[in-house]
Amino acid sequence: MAGYQNSMSALLNKIERRLGMRPLVPHLPEPYNKESWAEVITEDTLDTFSRYYPKKIPFKITKETAPRKDGWYYINEDYIGNQKILGAGDLDWSVFGKDSVGLAQQFGGYGYPDVGMSNFNMQDIQSLAMRANYASMFSNSNVYPEFRYPNQLRIVSIANSNVRLGDFTINLYVKHSDDLSSISPTKMETFEALAIADVAMYLSRNLKYWDGLETVLSTLDLKLNHLEDEASRRESIVDKLENSFVSAGNESIPFIMTV
């Protein structure tokens, strides 16, 4: 069975139907025809959507891909196809664990002896857990990335001091692909609503100069009220994106849930 695949042409057809533009599209002036809507989506809709739900890609930091100067790594965007970088997330610890000798050896972090738990009572286990939590809060082995726009990052410890890791993999956040293939199907409903509002705004703000124009046959009546109503929805859609920005459904915002 073929997998789900987003499509710009399918989205343009959907916008045409949702806005009730099918009777009018063949008669639109060339700068505002259906093909021009793709530019609105790639330059306006994708920019806004990607700021809240960016595409996440793993990127290996080496001397070639990100030369280091004054503590900052300068990401060579050629290695990510010149995609627009929006930010950096956590280190990819699953890859880091395989490629390195471990945090304990690199940073002198704390460790625990390999002992069985059969002789431990509940109080002992609770005490060990509290000690681990306390140590993790104040240990210098805690490291995190700091991103500086447009393509620089550094790794710092909890004491805000630079950390040198050698080669490591980090998660970068970039703008979604123009073909929309990188947008999750579960997020497409929101993206489509934003695209409809953006196209409606583009058409209403430009076609108003044609509305009421006298021709040899009749006076143009483009019925722009509906487009203006759809365009006005953009603000509420962006509010929805902001309100859901920090949530378990947004993999671009790393956080820990405890129970």
User: What share of the chain in percent tops pLDDT 90?
Assistant: 42
Q: Which of 146, 174, 202 is the last residue of a domain?
A: 174
Percentage of the chain beyond pLDDT 70 is 66
Examine the domain organization and report whether 139 and 207 are in the same domain: no
- Among residues 174, 209, 244, the one where a domain terminates is 174
151 Cβ contact partners less than 8 Å away, ≥ 6 residues apart: 74, 75, 77, 85
Domain end among 174, 202, 230: 174
Q: Check: CB of residue 145 under 8 Å from CB of residue 88.
A: yes
Q: Are residues 157 and 69 part of one domain?
A: yes
Give 195's pLDDT tier (boundaries 50, 70, 90): very high
Q: Is the pLDDT of residue 232 over 60?
A: yes
Helix axes of 188-207 and 8-18: crossing angle, nearest 10 degrees: 60
Return the top range by mean pLDDT from 145-149, 194-198, 204-208, 214-218.
194-198
Residue found under tokens 């991103």: 147
Same domain (yes/no): 33, 113: no
On whether both 118 and 209 belong to a single domain, the answer is no
DSSP label of 25: G
pLDDT exceeds cutoff 70 at 97? no
pLDDT tens digit sequence for 49-79: 999 999 999 999 999 999 999 889 999 999 9
- Please indicate, yes or no, whether residues 112 and 138 belong to a single structural domain of this protein: yes
Least confident range of 12-21, 109-118, 177-186:
109-118
23 with 95, same domain: the answer is no
Q: Are residues 9 and 87 in the same domain?
A: no
pLDDT at 120: 57
pLDDT band at 112 (very low <50, low <70, confident <90, very high): very low
Q: How confident is the model at residue 103 (pLDDT cuts 50, 70, 90)?
A: very low
The number of folded domains in the chain is 2
pLDDT, residue 85, reads: 92
Question: Is the model more confident about 181 or about 162?
Answer: 181
DSSP codes, 54-97: PEEEEEEE-TTTS-EETTEEE--GGGGTT--EEEEEEE-HHHHH
Same domain for 89 and 32: no
State the average pLDDT for the chain: 78
Q: Does 11 score more than 50 pLDDT?
A: yes
Q: Which domain holds residue 240?
A: 1-54+176-259
Clarify whether residues 187 and 109 are in a common domain.
no
pLDDT of 137 > 60? The answer is no
One domain for residues 8 and 42? yes
Q: What is the pLDDT of residue 215?
A: 43
User: pTM of this prediction?
Assistant: 0.73
Asked if 95 and 199 sit in the same domain, the reply is no
